[in-house]
Every structure is written in C-alpha cells, then in structure tokens.
C-alpha cells in the first residue's frame, strides 16, 4: 500500500491546495493532509481547529484522504504513518528552489521520496499569503478559496477590516 503525506500550513486552505490533494489522491492508496500545528510565520486568520475543519470538509468526497495535524519534523510524522512519500505543489521557480532543498534533506534523513506536482495554470498564482492580503483589505476571495473558507476568513477579520466608503 502506497501512503503519502501532503504537509502544509494551509492558512488558509485554497483551491490550489485542493487541486494538489485531488491529484495526489489518485496517485496514492492513502493520503494524509498534514496540517502544521504551530504557525510562527505570521499572525494567522485561521486557528488550527478552523484549518482542520475546512480541510476535512473539502476532502470529504475523497475516501482515501485523511486530515490530521502534526508538529515537529514531517519526516518523523511520515515514518510514524509508514508513509514512503511526501507530496508538495510547485507553482514557480521559487517553489522549486525551496522544495528541491527540502526534498533532498528529507530523503537524506529517512529515505522518504518527495513527489512534486506542478500546479495547473489556473491555480499557479494562488498563495495563502496573497489571500490573507486580499481578505485583509476587504476584497472577495471567489476563485481563490472554497466558499466556506471565504466566509470564515471574513468573520475572523471583520473587526480589522477597513471601513467601507
């Protein structure tokens, strides 16, 4: 049985993440979408509980996909799940630089292989950072994130949104 882990911050989960999940679910018998528990990178609009809840709703039609949280090294989590593969998405050359370094380091540590899936052109401009920026300025997120995520982001940002003119 081929098991893979798709790790990420998913803050927030986007349609770009969803495309990678759907494609990876076809390639592997079992796929763990593993959400980084702590998020020191930036103040995030979505809590871990919210990120898990939305991802679970998003993957509910896919019966070989499970959403879990993890902390520490992804290679340790993958080993615990007996997963021989990591999945990551590639949008551009910057992603490639970062992902190729991570993939080599991870393989060096435990032998885990990283499968890099190239984003479809219609999703390659979507990043969680961009979405947080758009949402913080009160613009709609249609076409970037699933509807349930859009509503939750606006609820959580409401007190900070610039007043409407």
- Residues annotated as part of the active site: 17, 41, 91, 128
The answer to whether 56 contacts ligand ADP (rule: CB under 6 A) is no
List 95, 107, 136, 154, residue binding ligand ADP (CB under 6 A): 95
The residue (of 139 and 161) whose beta carbon lies closer to ligand ADP is: 139
Q: Please give the distance of CA 15 from its chain centroid, rounded to a whole number.
A: 10
Binding-site residue total for ligand ADP (CB under 6 A)? 17
Distance CA 20, CA 67 (A): 14
Q: What is the C-alpha R_g of the chain?
A: 16
Q: Kindly compute the dihedral angle of the four CA atoms of residues 65, 67, 72, 74, in this order, to the nearest 10 degrees.
A: 20
The answer to whether 51 contacts ligand ADP (rule: CB under 6 A) is no
Q: Which of residues 75-94 bind ligand ADP (CB under 6 A)?
A: 88-89, 91
Q: How many CA atoms lie within 13 A of 163 on its CB side?
A: 1
The answer to whether 53 contacts ligand ADP (rule: CB under 6 A) is no
Closest among 155, 158, 148 to 51, alpha carbons compared = 148
The residue (of 98 and 161) whose beta carbon lies closer to ligand ADP is: 98
Closest among 5, 3, 33 to 18, alpha carbons compared = 33
The residue (of 29 and 97) whose beta carbon lies closer to ligand ADP is: 97
Binding site residues, ligand ADP, CB under 6 A: 8-10, 14, 16-17, 20, 88-89, 91, 95, 119, 123-124, 126-128
């Amino acid at each position: 049985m081929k098991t893979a882990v798709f790790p990420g911050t998913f803050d927030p989960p986007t349609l770009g993440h969803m495309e990678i999940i759907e494609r990876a679910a076809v390639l592997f018998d079992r796929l763990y979408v593993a959400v980084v528990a702590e998020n020191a990178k930036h103040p995030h609009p979505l809590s871990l509980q919210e990120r898990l809840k939305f991802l679970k709703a998003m993957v509910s039609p896919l019966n070989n996909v499970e959403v879990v949280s993890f902390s520490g090294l992804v290679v340790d989590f993958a080993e615990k799940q007996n997963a021989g593969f990591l999945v990551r998405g590639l949008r551009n050359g910057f992603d490639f630089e970062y992902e190729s370094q991570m993939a080599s380091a991870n393989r060096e540590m435990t032998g885990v292989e990283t499968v890099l899936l190239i984003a479809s052109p219609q999703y390659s401009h979507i990043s969680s950072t961009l979405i947080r920026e758009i949402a913080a300025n009160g613009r709609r997120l249609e076409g970037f994130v699933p509807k349930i995520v859009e509503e939750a982001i606006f609820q959580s940002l409401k007190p900070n949104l610039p007043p409407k003119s």
